[in-house]
Structure 1
Amino acid sequence: MAYLSMLISALSQGMLYAPMALGVFVTFRILKTPDLTVDGSFVFGMTVCAAVTIAGHPVLALLAGTAAGAMAGFFTALLQTKLRIEPILSGILVAAGLYTVNYAVLGGQSNLYLQYDTVNSAGAAVKAASPTIYKNFAALFAGAEGLFADSNVQVLLLTLAIVAVLTAALGVFFFTRPGMAIRATGDNEEMVRSSSINADLTRTAGVMLANALVALAGALLCQQQRYADLNCGSSMLVMGLASVIIGQVLFGDQGMVGGLVSAVGGSLLYRIIIQAAYQVDMPSYAVKLLSTLIVVAALAVPLVRQKLPRRRKGGGAQ
C-alpha cells in the first residue's frame, strides 16, 4: 500500500509538470531553439495565479497565469527576432528580469500563501483558505471512501483531464496552417522566409505558446500546493528537458502527436524516478545532482544503442 501511495503521488506530480514538458518540447523539438526563459516563466505563471486565486477566481487564475507566460515568451521572442540577440542570451535576460517582476507580484515577499483576510463569527480577523480548482474538485468526493478519498488521486484525476485536453488540442493545432508554419520554421527557417511566410511571427507564436504551457504548469502547481514561491523555478528547465528526452528515448520518434504524448509520459516517469530516489537514504540537496545524472543518462542512451549493434556484429565476425 505504501508503494501504491508513492506511485500515485509521483504520477500526480508528473501530471502537474506535464504542461511544462510540453512547452519544452515545443521549443527544443519543434522550434529547435534553446529557450532558457522556462525558469522565469514557470514562476511568473505561479505568482500571477496566486494573486488572482486570492482574489477569489481560481479558474481565471489559471488563464491569467498562462497569459503571463505567453507575455514572457513574447519578450523573449522580441529580443530574438527584432534585436537579433542569441536565443540562449534572450532567455537568460528575460528570466533575470522576471525575478523582479515576480517579486513585485508577490507584494515584495519571497512567497505567498493562498489565503485571504476575513472575519469569523466572533468578529475576529482571521485568514481563510482561498478556493482552488483542486479544492472545488475534492468537494465532489466528500464522503468517498477508499482510493478516491486520497487527495493525490483527486489531483491526478483532475490534472489528467486537463493535460489530456491540452495534448489533444496541441495535436490538432500543429496540423493547422499556423501550426504547420511553426513546425516549418523550426525545420528550415530560410525556406519559410523564401515562401513569403513571416518567420519572425511564427517564431514569436511558438515561443509564446511554449512559455504559456510552462506557466500553466506553474499555475497548476500553485493551486495544488496552495502557495507561490520565487524559488520554485529552480532547475525547471532541467526537469523539462529530462522529461522530453526520457520520453523520446522510451517511445522513439513517433511523429508530432507521438512526441507530445511521449513528453507527458517522460514527465510521469521522471517524477517516479525522483520519488523512488527520495526513498533512498540521501540528503535532499542531492536531488538536483540526481536530476542532472538522469538527463546525462537519457542523452547517452541513443549513443549506446548505436554502438551495441556494431559491437555485436564485430563479435560475430570474429
Structure 2
Amino acid sequence: MLDSIYGAIALGLIYALMALGVYITFRILDFPDLTVDGSFATGGAIAAVMITQGYSPWLATLGAFVGGLAAGACTGLLHTKGKINGLLAGILMMIALYSINIRIMGKPNVSIVNMDTLLSPIAKPIGLFILVLLVAVLIVKLLLDAFLHTDLGLALRATGDNSKMIRSLGSNTDTTTVIGISLSNGLVAVSGALIAQQGGFADSTMGVGMIVIGLASVIIGEAIFGARTVIIATLAVVMGSIVYRIVIALALRVELLEASDLKMITALIVIIALVVPTVRRTYKQRSLARKRSAELLAIPAMDKGGKS
C-alpha cells in the first residue's frame, strides 16, 4: 500500500511539469491546446534516441525541451499567423507529431532499459527519489512564477485576460501567444522525457490522454487549494498532480476496477472536480439569497415594532 502511494507521489511530481505547462495555456492564455498529447511523446522520443546514441541524459532532456518549444511554436504560428482556430491548430499539430515522433525514433518505440538516465542515480531509495524530484519541480515552479512576474510574463497574463486591451497598449499579442504555447509544450516535453527515462522506454502513443491528465491536475489543485495568486495557483497545480496520481493509485487497488479502466477513472475525476465547485458556488449563492430574503422580511416587522 505504502509503496504504491510513494510511487504515485513520484509519478505525480514528474507529471507536475506537464500540468504546469497545461496551466499556462489553459488558465493563463485561455487557449485550448491539444498539442500536449503529441509534444509529450516528442519529449520522450528525443530523450530516448539521444540517450541510445550516447548523449548525456542532461543534454537529452534539454533536447526534449527544445523539441517541445518547437512543437508549441508551430501551433502558435498556425493560430496567430495562419489564422487557424486554436483548437484546430492544436489538433493538426498533435496529428502531425505522431508521424514526426515515429520519424525521430525510426520505429514506434525505443527502449532505454539498463542505460544511464537522468533518474538512474536517484532511483533508490524511493525517499531520495521523491525528495530530488520535489526540489527540481519546486525550482521549475519558482522560475515560472518569476517569469510570470516579469514584463513579458505580465503581458502573457494580460493576453489571456483581455487581448484587446493589451493590444491597445502596444503589445504584440501574437508574440506573447507563441511564447506562451512554446513554453507550455517545452515543459510538457520535459515531463515526457522524464517519464521515458523513468519507465525505460519511449513510445509514439505515450502521450495519448495527457491533456486530460493535465487538466485534471489543474482543476483538482484549484478546487482543493484555490488560485488566488499566480504563486498559489502554480503550487496548487503541483499538488493537484500529486493528488490525482494518489487517487488513481487507490482506485486501481479496488478489486472491481482494472488497469483498462484508467481512462474512465480519469474522466470521472475531472467531472467531479468540475461539478463540485459549481455545486458549492450555487449552494453559497442560494444561502446568501435566503439570508437577504430573511433580512428584507424582518425590516417591516422592525418598523411596525418601532411605531408601536
Query: Of the candidates 118, 123, 132, which is equivalent to residue 117 of structure 2?
Result: 132
Cα distance in 2 for partners of 1:206, 1:68 equals 15
- Identify unmatched segments of 5+ residues in structure 1: 116-128, 139-148
Cα distance in 2 for partners of 1:131, 1:243 equals 30
Q: Deviations over 1:274-295 (max 9, x none)?
A: 0001101112211101100100
Q: Deviations over 1:104-150 (max 9, x none)?
A: 1111x2211015xxxxxxxxxxxxx3211111334xxxxxxxxxx53
Q: Which amino acid aligns with 1:163?
A: V
TM-score between the two structures when normalised by the length of structure 2: 0.91
**For the Cα contact (< 8 Å) 1:134–1:158, is it kept in 2?**
no
Q: Does 1:284 align with 2:284?
A: no
CA apart distance, 1:53 = 1.5
Cα distance in 1 for partners of 2:103, 2:138 equals 33
**For the Cα contact (< 8 Å) 2:227–2:236, is it kept in 1?**
no
CA apart distance, 1:4 = 2.0
The residue that corresponds to 1:161 in the other structure is 135
Q: Does 1:49 align with 2:47?
A: yes
The residue that corresponds to 1:87 in the other structure is 86
CA-based RMSD: 1.6
Which residues in structure 2 correspond to 1:181-260 (within 5 Å)? 181-260=155-234
Cα distance in 1 for partners of 2:58, 2:285 equals 54
User: Rg larger in 1 or in 2?
Assistant: 2
CA apart distance, 1:177 = 1.0
Q: Deviations over 1:28-83 (max 9, x none)?
A: 11001110100000000110011111223100011000110010000000100001
SS of structure 2 residue aligned to 1:228: strand
Identity of aligned residues (%): 41
Q: Go from structure 1 to structure 2 and tell me whether the alpha carbon gap of 1:74 and 1:314 turns closer, same or farther (over 3 Å shift).
A: closer
CA apart distance, 1:157 = 2.2
Cα distance in 2 for partners of 1:313, 1:175 equals 36
The residue that corresponds to 2:60 in the other structure is 61
- Identify unmatched segments of 5+ residues in structure 2: 298-308
The residue that corresponds to 1:73 in the other structure is 72
The residue that corresponds to 1:309 in the other structure is 284
**For the Cα contact (< 8 Å) 1:155–1:224, is it kept in 2?**
no
The residue that corresponds to 1:125 in the other structure is none
Cα distance in 1 for partners of 2:186, 2:37 equals 12
SS of structure 1 residue aligned to 2:110: strand
The residue that corresponds to 1:274 in the other structure is 248
Cα distance in 2 for partners of 1:154, 1:110 equals 33
TM-score between the two structures when normalised by the length of structure 1: 0.88
Cα distance in 1 for partners of 2:151, 2:10 equals 34
